[in-house]
């Protein structure tokens, strides 16, 4: 269960507490300015202070589903995403491909120690990678699918054998765990492991973690990367404090009041309010976010065209023409303008444009978007005539009546739903809802019970297409899939691109997979929001532009180059 709401869907998990502890406790939060009390006066020593809606999910890197950046600050990786979001060497000093790209040999840095003083060797890497490969849990485990075996011929060498040349080497994500701490646990114990001490080998050490309140990391001055002769990380900050705040308005006000240095993602109007304030820089980044609604297309594999016995969705949604009509009925520009305040792009395919070359651009003229007449025409031709009450009915008398669900945890999801409801009613559908439910209820409803028709949701993708394409894989029923879509051709492409070593060929496959899924209309991608953040410029210097945001992005570079102003 833990993987559903949050896998890479950072804004979701980050905001989960808003409706419960967060918003409910807002009065208490306003009454006790814990940020001021806790952080005031520490700026002088070069502290990076964050305000976030959800600071961290768990210190256990094997099961974590959000905040990879915090794990990457505490743990080393063989490779990392650099400031350009390209994989680069990190703990590894050399990487050699052989056997047609199926074998990768790493040389790792010598003399590296974990925070508890134990030496880090290839045995730790082997242990960690085998653990990720076998558990396949959490954020990092998912990338280990193609890994077959790991060898550690000597202390400084690690050899990975893949089933095919890996499109994305999982070494860029996987935190290297100290074998001496983790080796004696069963897989169940590892699942439950609180990892309170968080012993890693990375640039920061865990100082204090109070769930849903604050996370404090202290500089590991022994880290290999701080040495400016050897590594590029020239930052001088001594500590990093992440404080959980109740809502975005509080985050913005904390930034104004110099209680924090940097915000997480903000809604456009809140962000607008920070533009032009003194000592504050408000920045806009291409987003890796995908705002969409998934349609229940759970089909009986033994009886094509018929709903799966376990599906609670309206069987009419298995008719692709109805789904296509829905897509034509949605005026996406209006959604971008009204819900996102214009700060985003119209949605099309399943990868967001922040992905660069992997993103498949659908020409404007070919986008099924914003044309209710076309939608009506499709439904007319498909035989769904308008009934006496204005609602269309199928030839055998079934009404086009669908339930629309939205998570109440993210403000903009019910807002989208509120806007699309009249758009769909306009073409002769009855939309029940908007049913705004909290996350646990909705996760059960969609991912476990398959009892929904349409469901607005957000994904945030890493800078590699595999994760987002995996969501629509047949293997993800009951796990990540918010459509129960399953298509053989898509599936083949998805699997093949994972082990396609030639970037151009992989890009072609990724594009084709997006086109197939777009044409199936199981997703109605509404918008790609831009990421809006802000930071103070008076306490710390060294802020750089990294695609996908100042914080909680896929590179740790930002944290490691900050210094006291």
Partner 1 sequence: MSGVSLPDPAPPAGQAADRPGREESGVMLKLWRNGKGRIGLVLLAFFLVYGAAGFFAYENPPPAGFTVEDRFRSPSVDELLGTDNLGRSVWQQLAVGAGISLAVGLAATAIAVLIGSAAGITSGYIGGRFDQLAMGVTDMFITIPALPLIIVLAAVLSRGLPTIIVVIGVTSWAVPARLIRAEVLSQRERTFILRAKAIGMRPLHIMWSHVLPNVAGIVLANAILLTAAAVLTEAVLAFLGLGDPSLISWGKMLQNAFSSGATSLGYWWVLIPPGLMITLLVLAFTLVGNALTDVIDPRRRAE
Binding residues (CB under 8 A) for partner 1: these are: 18-20, 23-24, 26-27, 247-249, 252-253, 267, 269-270, 272-273, 334, 337-339, 341-342, 406, 408, 411, 414-415, 417-419, 422, 433-438, 441
**For partner 1, the closer CB: 129 or 402:** 402
CB of 211 to partner 1, least distance (A): 18
CB of 330 to partner 1, least distance (A): 13
CB of 331 to partner 1, least distance (A): 8
Contacts of 425 (CB under 8 A, 6+ apart): 431
CB of 45 to partner 1, least distance (A): 30
**For partner 1, the closer CB: 180 or 334:** 334
CB of 274 to partner 1, least distance (A): 9
Where is 560: in which H helix or E strand? helix 557-560
Instruction: Please spell the DSSP secondary structure of 274-342, one letter per residue.
Output: TTT-TTEEEEEE---EEEEEEE---B-TTSTTSB-TT--S-GGGGSHHHHHHHHHH--HHHHHHHHSTT
Structure token digits, residue 346: 């119209």
**For partner 1, the closer CB: 273 or 501:** 273
**For partner 1, the closer CB: 150 or 270:** 270
- Give the integer Cα–Cα distance in Å for 415 and 437: 13
CB of 22 to partner 1, least distance (A): 9
**For partner 1, the closer CB: 417 or 469:** 417
CB of 260 to partner 1, least distance (A): 15
CB of 414 to partner 1, least distance (A): 5
CB of 21 to partner 1, least distance (A): 9
CB of 248 to partner 1, least distance (A): 7
Q: Which residues pair with 153 in a beta bridge?
A: none
Best CA proximity match to 334, nearest among 270, 410, 423: 423
**For partner 1, the closer CB: 26 or 88:** 26
Q: Are 404 and 432 in contact (CB under 8 A)?
A: yes
DSSP type of residue 120: P
**For partner 1, the closer CB: 342 or 478:** 342
Q: In the sheet that 47-52 helps form, which strands lie side by side, from edge to edge?
A: 204-210, 214-219, 239-244, 47-52, 262-263, 531-536, 280-285
CB of 417 to partner 1, least distance (A): 8
- Give the integer Cα–Cα distance in Å for 153 and 96: 15
Q: If you search the block for the tokens 């040349």, which residue do you land on?
A: 165
- Rounded to 5°, angle at Cα 203 from 560 and 558: 20
Best CA proximity match to 391, nearest among 401, 405, 376, 383: 401
CA 208 → CA 45, 245, 383, 507, 564, distances in Å?
Answer: 18, 17, 63, 43, 22
Query: Exposed e or buried b for every residue in 322-349, given b needs 16+ CB within 10 A?
Result: bbbbbbbbbbbeebbeebbbebbbbbbb
Query: Exposed e or buried b for every residue in 153-191, given b needs 16+ CB within 10 A?
Result: eeebbbbbebebbbbbbbbbbbbbbbbebbeeeeeeebe
**For partner 1, the closer CB: 18 or 424:** 18
Q: Are 430 and 402 in contact (CB under 8 A)?
A: yes
**For partner 1, the closer CB: 26 or 516:** 26
- Give the integer Cα–Cα distance in Å for 112 and 223: 8
**For partner 1, the closer CB: 20 or 226:** 20
**For partner 1, the closer CB: 191 or 438:** 438
Contacts of 54 (CB under 8 A, 6+ apart): 13, 14, 15, 16, 17, 66, 212, 244
CB of 332 to partner 1, least distance (A): 13
How big, in percent rounded to 5, are the helix, strand and coil portions of the chain?
35, 20, 40
Structure token digits, residue 75: 């743990």
**For partner 1, the closer CB: 339 or 480:** 339
């Amino acid at each position: 269960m833990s993987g559903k709401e949050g896998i890479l869907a950072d804004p979701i998990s980050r905001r989960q507490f808003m409706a419960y502890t967060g918003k409910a406790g807002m009065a208490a939060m306003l009454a006790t300015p814990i940020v001021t009390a806790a952080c005031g006066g520490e700026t002088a020593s070069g502290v990076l202070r964050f305000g976030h809606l959800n600071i961290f999910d768990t210190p256990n890197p094997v099961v974590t589903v959000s905040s990879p950046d915090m794990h990457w600050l505490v743990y080393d990786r063989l490779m990392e995403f650099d400031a350009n979001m390209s994989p680069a060497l990190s703990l590894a000093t050399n990487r050699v491909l052989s056997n047609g790209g199926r074998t990768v040999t790493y040389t790792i840095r010598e003399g590296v120690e974990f925070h508890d003083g134990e030496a880090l060797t290839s045995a730790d890497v082997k242990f960690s990678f085998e653990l990720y490969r076998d558990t396949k849990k959490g954020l990092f485990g998912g990338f280990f699918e193609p890994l077959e075996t790991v060898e550690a011929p000597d202390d400084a060498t690690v050899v990975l054998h893949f089933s095919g040349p890996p499109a994305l080497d999982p070494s860029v994500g996987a935190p290297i765990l100290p074998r001496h701490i983790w080796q004696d646990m069963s897989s169940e114990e590892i699942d439950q492991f609180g990892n309170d001490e968080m012993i890693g080998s990375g640039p920061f050490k865990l100082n204090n973690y109070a769930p849903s309140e604050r996370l404090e990391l202290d500089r590991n001055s022994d880290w290999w990367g701080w040495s400016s002769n050897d590594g590029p990380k020239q930052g001088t900050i001594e500590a990093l404090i992440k404080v959980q705040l109740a809502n975005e308005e509080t985050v913005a006000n904390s930034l104004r009041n110099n209680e924090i240095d940097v915000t997480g993602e903000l809604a456009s109007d809140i962000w607008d309010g920070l533009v032009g304030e003194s000592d504050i820089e408000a920045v806009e980044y291409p987003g890796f976010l995908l705002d969409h609604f998934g349609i229940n297309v759970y089909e009986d594999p033994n009886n094509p065209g018929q709903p799966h016995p376990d599906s609670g969705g309206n069987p009419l949604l298995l008719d692709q023409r109805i789904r296509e009509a829905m897509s034509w009925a949605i005026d996406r520009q209006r959604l971008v303008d009204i819900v996102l305040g214009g700060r985003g792009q119209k949605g099309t395919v399943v990868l967001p444009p922040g992905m660069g070359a992997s993103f498949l651009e659908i020409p404007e003229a070919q986008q099924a978007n914003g044309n209710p007449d076309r939608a009506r025409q499709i439904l007319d031709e498909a035989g769904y005539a308008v009934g006496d009450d204005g609602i269309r009915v199928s030839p055998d008398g079934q009404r086009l009546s669908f339930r629309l669900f939205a998570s109440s945890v993210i403000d903009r999801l019910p807002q989208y739903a509120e806007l699309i409801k009249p758009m769909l009613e306009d073409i002769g559908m009855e939309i029940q809802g908007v049913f705004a439910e909290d996350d646990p209820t909705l996760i059960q409803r969609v991912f476990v019970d398959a009892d929904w028709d349409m469901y607005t949701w957000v994904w945030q993708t890493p800078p590699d297409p595999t994760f987002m394409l995996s969501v629509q894989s047949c293997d993800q029923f009951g796990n990540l899939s918010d459509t129960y879509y399953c298509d053989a051709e898509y599936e083949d492409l998805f699997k093949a691109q994972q082990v396609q070593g030639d970037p151009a060929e992989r890009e072609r496959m990724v594009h084709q997979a997006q086109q197939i899924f777009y044409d199936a209309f199981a997703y109605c991608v509404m918008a790609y929001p831009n990421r809006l953040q802000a930071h103070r410029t008076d306490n710390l210097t060294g802020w750089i532009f990294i695609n996908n945001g100042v914080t909680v992005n896929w590179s740790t570079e930002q944290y490691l180059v900050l210094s006291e102003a």
